[in-house]
Amino acid sequence: MINKELLEILACPVCKVSVFLKGDKLVCSKCQRQYPIKDDIPIMLVEEAELPEGPGTDKLE
């Protein structure tokens, strides 16, 4: 789905840290925002990201 070399250079636009692949989304290793992948293209726009749900995530809003 996502080229390994591309995955190694992608970073969360908010936190500037690495992302990892989880299902069909890229997830920030710090803030846990989930960025969609559409037609094999990662959409790394903050407004397209899904915020994580659950305890301790209210600080992201």
Q: Is residue 58 part of a domain?
A: no
pTM tops 0.95: no
Residue the block writes with tokens 């809003």: 61
At 36, is the pLDDT very low, low, confident or very high (cuts 50, 70, 90)?
A: very high
pLDDT at residue 54 in the model: 67
Within-domain flag for 46: yes
Report whether 20 contacts 26 (CB < 8 A). yes
Is pLDDT at 16 greater than 90 in this prediction? Answer: yes
Which range marks the domain in which residue 36 is found?
4-53
CATH number at residue 31: 2.20.25.10
Q: Is residue 19 part of a domain?
A: yes
Q: Is there a domain that residue 15 lies in? A: yes
What gap in Å lies between CA 41 and CA 56, rounded to an integer? 30
Answer yes or no: is 22 within a domain.
Answer: yes
Q: In three state form, how does the secondary structure of 1-61 look?
A: CCCHHHHHHCECCCCCCEEEEECCEEEECCCCCEEEEECCEECCCHHHCECCCCCCCHHHC
Does 31 map to a domain? Answer: yes
Residue 49 tokens, joined:
């990201």
Structural domain count, the chain: 1
